[in-house]
Amino acid sequence: MDANTSHTPRPLSVALALAAVYLIWGSTYLGIRFALEGGFPPFLLGGFRFLIAGGLLFAFLRLRGVAPPTRAQWKNLAVMGLLLLALGNGMVNFAEQTVSSGLAAVAVASAPIWMGLFAMMRGDKPTRAEWIGIGVGFIGVVWLNAGGAMSGSMQGLIALLIASLAWSFGSIWSRGRDLPSPFMAAAGQMLCGGVLMVVIALITGERMSMPTPKGLAAFAYLIVFGSIIGFTAYIWLLHHVRPALAGSYAYVNPAIAVVLGAWLAGEHASTAELGAMLVILAGVVVITLAKAGKGKRRT
CA distance 257 to 68: 36
Rounded to the nearest 5°, which phi and psi values hold at 25?
Answer: -70, -25
6: in domain: no
pLDDT tens across 111-126, in order? Answer: 777 877 787 787 777 7
pLDDT tens across 136-145, in order? Answer: 888 877 776 5
DSSP structure class, residue 241: S
Number of structural domains (the chain) is 1
CA distance 287 to 242: 10
7: in domain: no
Comparing CA positions, the residue from 298, 150, 161, 167 lying closest to residue 243 is 167
pLDDT tens across 55-84, in order? Answer: 999 999 999 999 999 999 999 999 999 999
2: in domain: no
Give the residue with greater pLDDT, 235 vs 181.
181
Q: Euclidean distance between the first and final Cα of the chain, in Å? A: 16
Which range scores top for mean pLDDT: 165-174, 244-253, 270-279?
165-174
Comparing CA positions, the residue from 160, 156, 155, 171 lying closest to residue 83 is 171
244: in domain: yes
The reported pTM is 0.81
CA distance 191 to 247: 23
192: in domain: yes
11: in domain: no
171: in domain: yes
CA distance 175 to 196: 22
Domain enclosing residue 207, as ranges: 27-298
73: in domain: yes
